[in-house]
Structure 1
Amino acid sequence: MQTLAVGSSSPFFEIRHTPHSGRAIFATRAIPADTLVWRSDDLTLSVLLRAYRREVCGQCFGYEHGHDLNIRNQTVGFAFCNEECQNKWKEWHGDIGVQAWTAVEKLVKGRSKEDNEMVDADLPRPKSKEIIAQWESVATQAALIRVARQGERAVNNGAVEANDGVAATKQHRKALQKALQQLLSPDVMCFCVCGILWKYAKPAEWDRLLALAVDTTPYPDAYDLRAHTRTYLHLLAILPLALLPIVTAETLFLLSSRDSHNAFGIRSLEDDGSEFFGYGCWPAASYFNHSCGPTIEKRRVGRTWEFRVGRDVGVGKGEELSITYLSNEERKWNRGQRVALLKKNWGFDCACARCEGL
């Protein structure tokens, strides 16, 4: 499908800049209720929470009401609802992707379930200076790990020294082992690996992600920030060598900064979304702004989002087509609860017609 961009149009809408909420989608004609106005199949990265990996298909996100799926690929750590989904997953990821997930699963399975950092409640969101400082604090160790890994390449090629002319020493290997001993954050690792593999497989589409709204402080607390920098070192230590040029602090921060305000939750479809399995980023779907009284109803169909008009849109040109960022249950909350949640999760003060009593 064609990627949405400013100036793009369809039979139903166009994208314009707004003075209050960046880019937004506006109707260009009257639209009857239940009309399908957009289908977004451009999933760039997704996180399937590890707690649900046995119950939710790694390809289509199908859910069997809490029952374990029949096809479990324990090597890569995902389960599938049928052979077709498993084959599609392998085809998209290719040999490098399978190697990457195999390395991740080997590392995670080798650690205890209790291998996690305790999180204090209501930690403040790290500011830009703190984020920069935290990433800089791991730069030296990351550089040492790169040399150690390049040494692997040199050994594999029958060479004596690493490609950059620096021989891997005990110091380099110690830095790698130290990284592997640090606490693991499997769901953060899933997020980072998905983004890295997407950039590796679809380099020409990287600009789609960069065009999304930026959150310069995307980490909700100091724990999450540390989890990302630790994961950076983990991935440098274990991922296939072909991926290392992409495994950079800049890449991982960019993934977080774009995903933060543009992710869609992946929920169960059979029970009004009561089960939250993870989240994903579909860039073309991110141009729909939020309203607590949306004109558009979104529905996930496998790996695709469909957007249908929830009510008749009038003849007058220019009505904004909006979705809600709230779950079905959250939509029933009072104004104060909704505003507080939206501010916490997406960083804006909702001023939609419903919240303003219009």
Structure 2
Amino acid sequence: MGLPAGAPTSLFFEIRSTPHSGRAVFAAQDIPTNTLVWRCEDLTLDVLLREYRREVCGECFDYDRGRGLRVRDHTVGFAFCDEECQKKWQERVGEIGIQAWTAVEKLVKGRGKEDMDMVDADLPRPKAKEIEEAWKGTAAQAELIRTARAGEQENSEVKITKQHRKAKQRAIMQPISPDAMSFYVTGILWKHHNSTLWPHVLALAADKTPYHSTDDLHTFTRTYLHLLSILPVQLLQDCTPETLRLFSTRDSHNSFGIRSLEDDGSEFFGYGCWPTASYFNHSCNPSIEKKRVGRVWEFRTGKDVEKGDELCITYLSGEERTWSRGKRMEILLKNWGFECACERCEIV
């Protein structure tokens, strides 16, 4: 059986299927300590939490201990550590991306904080049937909004009725979540600019129940209708329930936290999905140390590795690594959906 689309390839390792943990990375040779075995540059979608937008660079995620950054672009809602990072961001998202972020920022700025809704409560996760019904419930309003947007175009022959306009207005007036919008917008823009790489995302392991609660599920369905109402029309072909649901199912157990670098990751700024990074499984006693360098992850051996050994990283932050077995198990099950069976966890 061949490698999945987008799987990492290296002289140092190979990807194999395992009986218990899906695909995994195994050493193809003996590897000495501190060897760079993989450099991961394929950031597909990310969320830079809005509360950190003034302090964390929108391009390289640089953070200067809470100090406000020098370059701030109020139109798109991001700050940058310098003009070079701002230019890189503009080139990466393109003109269509600048238009999209401008529309999002305009909507967010026009709303009070009480209208911004993002629930992260420890509630029962909605099952597949509830998820299906919630997304189906958007279909009628979404169709009216799409018609309204089509009728807004120059020389359009589509006739817009009061019903179409009310559907769009009703969507815009619903509670908003800037972070949920960021999640979807980064993914939509990535797909727009990198359509040939879409199979790389499809190849990721899927979580069929990715929403933390019913409120969380409805936050994302509302966000879909928000984005249908405000994004540039050219992006609406990728703003579909199928695509947005897929972002959630693939990101759920494959995302990496974006944290501060100087203090063992004590500050959590957001998260992102780097598809090739997801091939490394977790161990509470990892052989691979990961380090974020801007938008890139570097993976180096933390000790000598023998040929045939599985190359594992830890999904835990610095402080979490020191926790008891029970607490580690609890957070791994909650955030990534598995019970750890590494050597360290088997020793009780």
* TM, length-normalised to structure 2: 0.97
Q: Does residue 211 in structure 1 map to residue 185 in structure 2?
A: no
Kept after mapping to 1: 8 A contact 2:122/2:212: no
Question: Partner of 1:135 in structure 2?
Answer: 135
- Runs of 4+ off more than 3 Å: 3-9, 116-121
Kept after mapping to 2: 8 A contact 1:57/1:80: yes
Question: Partner of 1:321 in structure 2?
Answer: 311
Question: Partner of 2:101 in structure 1?
Answer: 101
TM superposition shift of 1:116:
3.2
Gap change, CA 1:120 and 1:266, over 3 Å in 2: closer
TM superposition shift of 1:119:
4.5
Question: Partner of 1:345 in structure 2?
Answer: 335
Of the candidates 232, 243, 253, which is equivalent to residue 224 of structure 2? 232
- Which digits, 9 at most, give the CA deviation of each residue in 1:270-322, with x for residues without a partner? 111000000011111110000011000000000000000001113xx310000
Gap change, CA 1:62 and 1:326, over 3 Å in 2: same
Amino acid at match of 2:292: R
TM superposition shift of 1:223:
1.4
Q: Distance in 2 between matches of 1:231 and 1:28?
A: 44
Q: Distance in 2 between matches of 1:118 and 1:64?
A: 27
Kept after mapping to 1: 8 A contact 2:120/2:216: no
Could you tell me the percent identity over the aligned residues? 66
* TM, length-normalised to structure 1: 0.94
Of the candidates 271, 294, 309, which is equivalent to residue 279 of structure 1? 271
- Which digits, 9 at most, give the CA deviation of each residue in 1:224-270, with x for residues without a partner? 11110000000000000111111100010000000001101000001
Amino acid at match of 1:37: V
Q: Distance in 1 between matches of 2:6 and 2:113?
A: 46
Q: How does 1:64-79 map to 2 (within 5 A)?
A: 64-79=64-79
Question: Partner of 2:190 in structure 1?
Answer: 198
Of the candidates 317, 320, 323, which is equivalent to residue 333 of structure 1? 323
Kept after mapping to 1: 8 A contact 2:45/2:190: yes
- Which digits, 9 at most, give the CA deviation of each residue in 1:71-97, with x for residues without a partner? 000000000001110000000111100
Q: How does 1:1-358 map to 2 (within 5 A)?
A: 9-117=9-117, 119=119, 121-153=121-153, 156-157=154-155, 159=156, 161-162=157-158, 167-314=159-306, 317-357=307-347
Gap change, CA 1:118 and 1:227, over 3 Å in 2: closer
Q: Mind listing any 5+ residue stretches in structure 1 that lack a counterpart?
A: none
Gap change, CA 1:118 and 1:214, over 3 Å in 2: closer
TM superposition shift of 1:46:
0.9
- Matched residue pairs, number? 346
